[in-house]
Amino acid sequence: MSYQSVDKLQLALAKKVFYYAKDAKKASGRALGTMIELITFYLLKDWGLEESIRIEKGLIEYRNATVSHNVEYTLHPTLKAQKITLQHNLPINSTKIIKAIQDNKLFDFQGYTQVNSTLVSTSDVVKNSCVIARNKDTSLIAVLTKDNEKSVEITVTEQYEKPYAMIECKRVGVEEGMKKGPQTIEKAKQGAYVARTVSSLQKVRNYDGTLFGLLPIGKDDFKFGKYDDLLREIITTNNKQMYKDFILTIGVVSNHGNWFTSNNPNKELVVLRDAYDWLLFLTDEGLATFIEELLLNPKEAYKPAQTAFLSSYTSGKDGVRKTGKNQFTKAQIGTKADQALQDYFRQNREKIAKWFNIITPDNTSIDELREEIKTLSEKNWK
């Protein structure tokens, strides 16, 4: 790693990329937050979950539909997936995709309402998890599978609206000269509140601090047991009453002076650890490696990612960032940058897995999380 810490890396970004901003350090800090979200997204994508992902979907609290929370990512059961091929005639929007669906009779479109959206823009920027139509219980999601500049291959997936897992990313910057960010604990509590309220599996502490789980399984009927045991049973069971309203809660946090380390957690990290089913700690080294190898000094094959990043944060003659859409976020990204990132994650799987420490559950690995997600995705959700 070229930088001793993410602090040093943030200062380097402030000088090299965000020099034009009024507060260059703050601008680079926001960009670091985007990197954490992108790392998480491409990890999920490399796990083969892209057709299940929704981005910043409003997630309602368990049995409390009056309150919803936008979370970074949710994973949804898929009912049906079909591939279509269109000419590379940009933009590729929901109207063109739905016409191809109807012409080929791939889905029964009755009951669906079209959502006006663009999968690939005229500037060759792809919208991740592009919703093209929805009804009460399901949505049609378009994903760009291949793009050879003559034609595009698109996978259209029918997703249930109710997810089986949610993922939140948390990072708080620290001002120079300060030991803690002033909103660190508040952001930790916000994330913890969402994690505790969206799933049917609820946490209860015994008098000795032991964590138990309470799971409603019918009218005035509950299943009660040690939390880890009950969680494991829900994930492996074929009993729909147990898993139908369950949502696996996953948090990804970064260090940067606030969260300390997985072996030396502070109050904020403990709050998050006790709220999420899985809490992943993205190390300084992991974040710095991502930025160094993809954005600052990439190999030729990964330079499209650097180009998309820099073009999103360039300045005009007046020193102000140029107007136009950012093409390097979790929601939308340049198509060539998207391919470069997919290639990077596929070619560096073993290294990337080591970027994460598992804070909770104890004595587990990121491969076990992947298996739990796979098990949930394969349940009968009809």
Distance CA 94, CA 115 (A): 7
What tens digit of pLDDT does each residue of 62-108 get? 999 999 999 999 999 999 999 999 999 999 999 999 999 999 998 88
Is it the case that residue 230 has pLDDT exceeding 50? yes
Indicate the burial class of 115 (C-beta count within 10 angstroms; 0-12, 13-18, 19 or more). Answer: middle
Q: What is the pLDDT of residue 13?
A: 83
Mean pLDDT, the chain, rounded, equals 89
Query: Hey, what amino acid is at 79?
Result: L
Read out DSSP for 340-361? HHHHHHHHTHHHHHTTEEEEES
pTM, two decimals, is 0.92
**Spatial CA neighbour of 96 closest among 38, 142, 60:** 142
Do residues 92 and 119 make contact, with C-beta atoms less than 8 angstroms apart?
Answer: yes
Is it the case that residue 320 has pLDDT exceeding 70? no
Q: What is the pLDDT of residue 262?
A: 54
Q: How long, in residues, is the chain?
A: 382
Read off the pLDDT of each residue in 198-219 and give the average, rounded to a whole number: 95
Read out DSSP for 7-37? HHHHHHHHHHTSTTSTTHHHHHHHHHHHHHH
Share of the chain above pLDDT 90, in %: 69
**Spatial CA neighbour of 169 closest among 345, 319, 330:** 330
Read off the pLDDT of each residue in 224-240 and give the average, rounded to a whole number: 96
Q: What is the pLDDT of residue 316?
A: 47
